[in-house]
Amino acid sequence: MSRTLSAPVTVAFDYTRSTGPVVGRFLSGLRDGVVVGGRTSTGQVVVPPLEFDPVTHEATTEFVEVSSVGTVTSWTWVPEPVKDQPFDRPFAFALVTLDGADVPLLHALDVASPAEVTTGMRVRVRWAAERVGHINDIACFEPLAPGETEASAPAAAGDEPVTGVVTRVSLDYQYAASPEESLFYRGLNEGRIMGQRCPTCQKVYVPPRSACPSDGTPTVEEVELSQTGTITTFCVVNVPFLGQKITPPYVSAYVLLDGADIAVLHLILGVPADEVRMGMRVKAVWKPEDEWAYSLENIDHFAPTGEPDADFDTYKHHL
């Protein structure tokens, strides 16, 4: 058995970026098949334009159309592309100074091997089939054919200025639980709720912790906890929201399991929401065993035991 539990997780979101006028001007140009630079106070043409001038700190307001043909000033080979790069086969990244610009732009260069690239080589923009106002409207750079001097400009593809861009950020991680959390999840997979006692302050933590937050000592001694406990406090969820699994209203409550010194947050079902009380005694209701996994979700919810409510004094230190 491995020391810890681990599983893959993808963190992904389509970010909706507002570009402001300067980046927007650049992206509008790409959509229309032209590369736009910005002129700085010292007269340099920079691509993409800087939002604010490096010397005066004023917003860039002077824009210059530059050529879609230029010269490689540096390059590197990408032997093992990572997800979402312009190509999923080996390619080069290059810094290219377009004719009419004073500094280079970073983009992919489509060549089959490093032997086909040199610093100083002439390249041109290969436009994407569909242009929407995004840096990927430039599909990549490609070597200029012998004798070719100008790349033909495609037709403009819109008339409204670009003010926003959607960029997908999708990252794949391998998530690992700590050894103490792994004990907890493995217990749940066997229908048990496992905690650990801190050797310094003697408090029983559920889930157990790599460091007791009070004194920094790892919790050690294993303690199997009762399946019953007391609601310390709660809220009634009345509002629908993204990803919600239960129809409101329902109760989300802190349940202090008998024998534990810290409450766990869980659902209360089996009782109308408006009858849930602080101090109510509840017990774990498990999902069918064939649905169990390494998760607190194995406990479907907590439901009232029917016992008399706990005295406020017995749980007031847990609020």
Residues in 139-178 that interact with other proteins by CB under 8 A? 163-165, 167, 169, 171-178
| Residue 119 engages other proteins in binding (rule: CB under 8 A) | yes
User: Binding string, 14-53, against other proteins, x = CB under 8 A?
Assistant: -xxxxxxxxx--xx------------------xxx-xxx-
Nearer to other proteins, 64 or 103 (CB): 103
Among positions 2-21, residues that touch other proteins (CB under 8 A) are 2-9, 11, 13, 15-21
Site size for other proteins (CB under 8 A): 120
| Residue 314 engages other proteins in binding (rule: CB under 8 A) | no
Q: Which of 237, 269, 271, 303 binds other proteins (CB under 8 A)?
A: 237
- Secondary structure of the chain as H, E, C letters: CCCCCEEEEEEEEEEEEECHHHHHHHHHHHHCCCEEEEECCCCCEECCCCCECCCCCCECCCEEEECCEEEEEEEEEECCCCCCCCCCCCEEEEEEEECCCCCCEEEEECCCCHHHCCCCCEEEEEECCCCCCCHHHEEEEEECCCCCCCCCCCCCCCCCCCCEEEEEEEEEEEEECCHHHHHHHHHHCCCCCEEEECCCCCCEECCCCCCCCCCCCCCCEEEECCCEEEEEEEEEECCCCCCCCCCCCEEEEEEEECCCCCCEEEEECCCCHHHCCCCCEEEEEECCHHHCCCCHHHEEEEEECCCCCCCHHHHHHHC
In whole angstroms, the minimum distance from the beta carbon of 302 to other proteins comes to: 12
| Residue 103 engages other proteins in binding (rule: CB under 8 A) | yes
Among positions 181-210, residues that touch other proteins (CB under 8 A) are 181, 185, 201, 203-205, 209-210
Q: Which of 1, 43, 79, 155 binds other proteins (CB under 8 A)?
A: 79
In whole angstroms, the minimum distance from the beta carbon of 147 to other proteins comes to: 26
